[in-house]
Amino acid sequence: MFPEPDPEKIIDIEMKDSTIVTVSIPSELVHVGLSVAGREELFTTMAAQLERLGYIRSTFLEGLLARESRFPTGLPISGGVAIPHTDPEHVRSSCISIATLKSPVPFGQMGGDDEEIPVRLVLMLALHESDDHLTVLQQMMKNLRNTDFVEELLASDSTPGIVERTRAVLDP
């Protein structure tokens, strides 16, 4: 059993080829000013909430950690952003969990050679369909290059504000 999507928390991401991906961004999955000692504590905190709310299977955290060690997700854009995700078999219902961090956490750089970058914004993807990963990542990357968008999220102390701003750019 997993949560029924709340229509007010759903976004439909439409790509140029008319592909539509439906994803939930519930306010319960937004962590504002999160203080963690490192990446593993960050992942554990975010995954625990995802699991508690029924969005993921108990194997999600293990899959996430394994994937992140092989394919890091840190991006040196807009002051440091990461988009961690794992395989769909660990997900019950598609959603995005967001964390703004009180202090930067080091992440391996996507496509890099063991280089770490400080990350202040984390957009954790839990996507139920394998085809959705590329679609959602493309749309996220397009918007994360917008420094104003990232700075607005980082400056916000409001969970609803972060959800609404994210929905506005992903589902214009």
The one-character DSSP state at 6 is P
151 within domain boundaries:
yes
pLDDT of residue 154: 93
Give 96-148 as a DSSP string: EEEEEEEEEEEEEBTTSSS-EEEEEEEEEEE-SSHHHHHHHHHHHHHHHT-HH
Cα(90)–Cα(30) distance, integer angstroms = 20
Cα(56)–Cα(119) distance, integer angstroms = 24
Q: Tell me the helix, strand and coil percentages in the chain, rounded to 5.
A: 40, 30, 30
Between 137 and 18, name the one with better pLDDT.
137
Q: What is the mean pLDDT of the chain?
A: 86
pLDDT of residue 144: 84
Between 21 and 39, name the one with better pLDDT.
39
pLDDT of residue 2: 46
CB distance 34 to 100 below 8 Å: yes
Domain region containing 110: 7-170
Please tell me whether residue 16 adopts helix, strand or coil conformation.
coil
pLDDT at 126 over 90: yes
pLDDT at 74 over 80: yes
2 within domain boundaries:
no
Mean pLDDT of 78-100: 93
Between 15 and 105, name the one with better pLDDT.
105
Q: How many domains does the chain have?
A: 1
1 within domain boundaries:
no
pLDDT of residue 147: 86
155 within domain boundaries:
yes
Mean pLDDT of 120-137: 85
CATH, residue 133: 3.40.930.10
pLDDT of residue 116: 94
60 within domain boundaries:
yes
Nearest to 80 by CA among 52, 111, 118: 118
C-alpha torsion angle, residues 87, 31, 95, 40 (rounded to 10): 10
pTM to 2 decimal places: 0.88
107 within domain boundaries:
yes
The token duo for 146 is: 């917008």
